[in-house]
Amino acid sequence: MTAGTDAEVEWLVSPGLVPYEAATAFMAGRVEAILAGKASELVWLLEHPALYTAGTSAKAADLIEPGRFPVHRTGRGGQFTYHGPGQRVVYLMLDVRARWGDVRAYVGALEQLIIETLARLGVEGAVRQGLVGVWVRRQEEERVRQDKIAAIGVRLRRWVSSHGLSINVAPELAHFSGIVPCGIREDGVTSLADLGLAAGMGHLDRELRGVFERRIAPTRPLAMDVPALVSPHV
């Protein structure tokens, strides 16, 4: 593994809906290739069909409707979350030791990546002490509510990351009701569309890449064909 802090990161945007099992298999193979020095770091942007994932801290009681969508147990950190059409999923296969040296610094960098990207779209995102992810503060009549707009869940293998983050662009927010998202019961979830913004997936992608290149590393288009295993399914 030879990646340094100035090394270019490959960048891939997959159209359509990528099956979750195919995505995790591809990520695992890519991580092994990075560790062997046979592939560059990669950021992969995609959408999944409607599904729930359970991280290593997931509690059975937080799966409210187990038969609603497929449930995938995964090795990433965190609890239950939802993925589905209209949500941008960003999988990052990066050399965390070379770039940050610490997993907490890496997670913090992802939070700041999201916050700055949202700011470019006109949304003020914020972190919450003791919690992972990005929230939007919304004034209600009796209180200020904090709704989650982006989730983070990562996994490291010998310091190379997989999994990553998700940002709600225009998913069906009612689909989150089948779980307790990230274990948070007192507040809700939101999206760019729910906030009244017309920014689509392509707009988000452009801003995200610009912020990534400014804060983390230069990028280049993926230099290999995506295996048929992860070819998009609509």
CA distances to 49, 82, 96, 222 from 217, in Å: 30, 29, 12, 15
Task: Tell me the C-alpha distance between 221 and 90, whole Å.
Answer: 15
**Set 42, 182, 192, 208: catalytic member:** 182
* Residue 35 Cα distances to 31, 43, 229, angstroms: 6, 16, 21
Distance (Å, rounded) from C-alpha 31 to C-alpha 53?
Answer: 20
Read off the amino acid at residue 86.
G
215 vs 234: CA distance, rounded Å:
33
Contact 51, 71 (CB under 8 A): yes
Q: Is 72 a catalytic residue?
A: no
* Angle, in degrees to the nearest 10, between helices 103-120 and 201-215: 130
DSSP single-letter state for residue 189: B
Phi-psi region of 172 (alpha: psi -120 to 50; beta: other; left: phi over 0): beta
Supply 27's token pair. Answer: 């990520």
- Catalytic residues, by residue number, are 182
